[in-house]
Structure 1
Amino acid sequence: MKLRQKILLLAITPLIVALFSIALAVRYQATLLAHQQRASVEAAYLASKEAELKHFVVLATRSIEHLYQSGRHDEATLNEAKAILATLDYGDDGYFFLYDLDGRNLMHPRKPELVGRNLWNLRDPSGSPTIQRLIAQAKAGGGFVRYLWEKPSSGKMAPKLGYVIELDRWGWMLGTGLYLDDVDAALAKIDTQISGNIDNTMIWITGIAIASALAIGLSGLALNISENRVADAKLRVLAQRVVRSQEEERARLSRDLHDGISQWLVSIKLQIESGIAKLIANSAQPELARSSFDRAAGQLNDVLGEVRRISHDLRPALLDDLGLAAALDHLVQEFSEHTAITTRFNSDGSVDGLSDVANTVLFRIAQEALTNIKRHANAKNVNVRLIGNKSNVALIISDDGIGFDVAGVAQHPKRGIGLRNMHERVDAVGGTLNLASSAEGTRVTASLYRI
């Protein structure tokens, strides 16, 4: 797969995943909202039916109140009350029923064949004792009961919401009810409409997602072609910068070897040759040649020190052996000795746990910052702090020098190479670099996050 295809795939795949996730979230939220809406409608509908049932029962009790409050219990009075209740109805399936507290049916206008029968042990298709539950609710002070009962208009079993009360003076249970199959049908219709709306919404989202993917894909393709060209140009510049940095480092190393080690080695060679000549000329007095060899030995020590310095600049052994804090402490001591600038180092918190690359980045930033201070800051005091916590390690280098224009140096094409190198090093390991400079001094803060 070509690079452009990979870039296009990487651009479109997250978009498709995001749109798919959005579609799932919208569907979930729409379904949840539909269920909540259905529950609200059902609750409101049932609340109105319950209020309606209570109202019907109140009207029924008022219709026989003059008989009930008379205190009579004779058969004629009871039959008159039954006759009044039997004439009360509402709609095709709205009626009142009477039972005694032993489960015997006393009045049922829609099913007169039940009158006089004891239905205490009657159970609905689900096995629930219907009459026992109604009577128990009536004895408990009255209330609502859900059960299954044959619907007169259809002749089929249907869910029913009943409301019953107890007429304790006569030992009756008076009740009525509303069939809920109409409610279930209305709610099913609402569910169908909502499901259709959700499906239509998903179709629209899918269409929009496809159109967006195509549009973004085409735009991304054009943008990627342009970005590829820009990236290639940046890579060329970066490659040139890397080569230039390598050449600068080689030039510095060459100067160090030529100006220091090379001259010392020439001097040592001359001292040794001088000592050898003195030994040959005055073999009986070797002490005359000793001064030449002593000077040669001293210069060899200087050469060894210079080799150690160059080696330390290239890659400090302390960084690998004892860690970042020890390497920075040694760097600060050497800087203070060679520049006569008062330089202090302290470490706070946990500064271990960074990768070798991250340790090297912070060490190189410290080297670059101290080199800049030496060349440009005219500072008298420098503070180097290494601070660590659970999430990150920060290197803070501050001085009391004359400062510089950070923005101006950053935009200058031939200046600020060291600062750009510092930024690039930190960016390469996912850290942050902040520069603050004024006439009172400069502060460099590099923060690297723990893995």
Structure 2
Amino acid sequence: MLFLGDYIFSAIVVSPFLLLIPLSLVYQFMSNKIYDIEFLIGRLKYYSFLAIIPTSIIITILGLLKHQEGEFYTIKITVFTYLIMLGVFYLKEIIDFRFRLKRFSEKFNYQDSIFKFTQMIRTFTSLNQVLLELKQAILDVLTVSQAHVLKVKNDGTISLLEGETEDYPWIPYEKEVSKVIAEIGKIIEVDRGFLIKIGERGGTSYVMLCLSMLNTPRLTRDEISWLETLAFYTSVSLENVLKIGELMEHLENVKKEGPNPAWLNKLMFAIEEKQRSDLARDLHDSVLQDMISLKHQSEMFLADFEKDKVCTSQIQQRLINMNEQMSNVIQTTRETCQELRPQLLYDLGLVKALSKLVAQHQESSSIRIRLNTERFSKVLDLDTQLNLYRIVQELLNNAVKHSKAHEILIMLVCIKEKVVLHYEDDGVGFDQDKLYQNKTGMGLSGIRERVRALDGNLEIKTAEGKGFRVIIEMEL
């Protein structure tokens, strides 16, 4: 009606479709997948405010030049001009973003040059590459014709970066060079340019000397801010290059030591001995004690049998008892082997292995355990499955030994791109402040380390007399 003077569709047809606007905005805001709503609204507010000024100027000029009578003429031309200006501002942002890495001229283009510089240096692996790229960025943006990278040692010795050809360009500015090395980003202006410290490595400071053919005006506030930002990025990049170099050198040394370096062999032997110790303790406390008891009963039975002190019914009863104990020994041995290597996990996967684990604990205890894995359908690698299995195993062992719980709930679900393991019991709980102390006997430190190995998040909620809850979230 505003632009054409007539309706295209009647209000009855259009009004239901108006509901799509708030519903779509709510969906976009909640999912945050199609658009970043907050960013778009912020940009719209910004450009809407900017468009007011040129629109007002244009409407004022049109009003002074020519006056046309007509219904809604001023309103129509104002709205039309305002929308055009809004579109021009938005189009300018798109063009700036598209061509930020391939502009025809980089002079005074501070923001985009920083973006280009950071995009380039993230792939560099040597100090010279980073410094030469910074040199080129300064030459492209500022009105300087020469840029030299100086290496200043602690004893005051100055030299050029490898690849520089000019001889001793710093000699007229030696006094200023000694002053600029105090801190990263410090700038000292000289007669034909400026000096700026751009990084430090070991006992060597790196200074950029920038000169022009003629005397240059003083640096503006924007130029100083831009140079300080570049110096900061360069310093961080040099630190990263240094760390990468040290790591590569260490790896080369490790490679020279042979297939397995000494420290790795030592670590592997320590882990092996720890596993041996745990296995020996488990066998000593369970299977070995039961076998000693059976041997003792057999010796007493044979002694009584030789003295004719037992009748047929007693023999039968003792054999029944011994048979039951041997069955228990066999069951204990199977459970120990299952804990050492859960074969069902390797054969049928995590869900089946957890179901079997829960069934075993329900048979050996009076705790009611509910396992919910209906919404779990992700395919995980074997290490991740094994870590999740061990976490549930440790939680159930803790519950049987310490919690005095009557009911346990375990849920393993997939929510979007996350795997969530939820454990909850109604046991006695314990003091949250003593969560990872060894004297609690809960083995939570091991669970925490496994979650860290999975790059997940661990949340534990408990209190004395209020049960125990564990929530583990892991990104896929």
TM range (shorter): 0.3 to 0.5
Instruction: Name the TM-score, length of structure 2 as normaliser.
Output: 0.42
Bigger radius of gyration: 1
TM-score (norm 1): 0.44
Higher relative contact order structure (alpha carbons within 8 Å, sequence separation ≥ 6): 1
